[in-house]
Amino acid sequence: MRVCLTRDFLNPDGSPGFGDIGLQRLDDAGIAWEYLAERTPELRPDQVRDHEALLLLGPQVTAATLDGADRLTLIARFGVGYDNVDVEACTRYGVMLTITPDGVRRPVAASALTFILALSHKLLIKDRLTRAGRWAEKLHHIGMGLTGRTLGIVGFGNIGRELARLAEPFGLRRVAFDPYAKPAEAASQGVELLELDDLLGLADFVCICCALTPSTRNLINAERLNRMKPTAYLINVARGPIVDQAALTRMLQERRIQGAGLDVFEKEPMDPDDPILKLENVIVAPHALCWTDECFLGNGVSACQSICDLALGRIPANVVNREVLDSPLFQSKLRFIVGKESKT
């Protein structure tokens, strides 16, 4: 079985850009792997058609990518977001898509907590005052203590639950919105499930942790931003289009909410002249705050495990398009790889 990795795993000089991502697992399993020769924004079929599995970082995978890539059986996405993959086309072409929730759970939740701590303590403001020798102004920037405050988590899935666990020792009341979450499961963590509008009106910190789907696009729009308290902070570590960025910018400019911590944006990379970048009550990061050695190794190990499972005819964990498992096309590809019926 042959595996290819997208070229954006490498630095421009060809050296590994992410450190150890667990590729030794493929070597130990006797699975051949290579980096694609070109770095392209959208993958072409000629780049992947000689491989059974693709370890994918940033490029787009479209129906055009898969048309003619008859051997491709698995796309192992390095991360949990898969808005760069046409999932319906994957199913149609008999390609299984997996993600790596175990790898990002702690790093992304920790990045949300980092924003909470930095915003509540006005870290960047105080950094700027110190560098400018404006010590006398520190009395104008008193922070917000966390004990007894309310953390509102939008999306109580893998990352949202981990954030709730990390936040517990700080004495935060924790509430969440998720139409698919079970109240009993949330209650076992000391988290109360609320309707979204109620959460927005109550929370001192609103953390976006849900996936980007048609139903969550612009979920946090102007009307819902107006429900937030003027002392509240908005934090987004999920996907930019979940929040109406223009409406958020206006709210921040007019100080109708206290501030924001943003790791994601509607358009990435951002226009350097975007007005949100000029605001002092915003902390920003380039969709990379969770990028740590822990995150990269966890994602890589999980993705490589999916590939190893495929090589053995097993169905990996964390399959996005589980309907593909019953596809005769997918099953024939699997039999070709292992020379026997698949084991579930």
Q: Which residues are catalytic?
A: 239, 268, 287
Please give the Cα distance from 199 to 206 (Å, whole number): 8
Distance CA 301, CA 316 (A): 13
Contact present, 248 and 260 (Cβ < 8 Å): yes
Can you tell me the distance from the alpha carbon of 248 to that of 254, in angstroms, rounded to the nearest whole number? 10
List b or e across 284-317, with b for residues whose CB sees 16 or more CB atoms inside 10 angstroms.
bbebebbeeeebbbbbbbbbbbbbbbbbebbbbe
Quote the CA–CA distance of 340 and 337 in Å, as a whole number: 8
Helical ranges in the chain per DSSP H: 24-28, 45-48, 63-66, 87-92, 101-120, 123-131, 158-167, 183-188, 196-202, 222-225, 245-253, 293-311, 328-338
The answer to whether the peptide bond before residue 241 is cis (omega within 30 degrees of 0) is: no
Question: Which residue type sits at 71?
Answer: R
The sign of the dihedral angle between the CA atoms of 167, 124, 284, 281 is positive
Unique residue bearing structure tokens 């509240």: 232
DSSP result, 273-295: T-GGGG-TTEEE-SS-TT-SHHH
Burial of 256 by CB count in 10 Å (0-12 exposed, 13-18 middle, 19+ buried)?
Answer: middle
Instruction: Answer for the pair 257, 228: CB distance below 8 angstroms, yes or no.
Output: yes
Positive or negative: CA dihedral 291, 293, 294, 295: positive
Say how many CA atoms lie within 13 Å of 335 toward its Cβ: 8
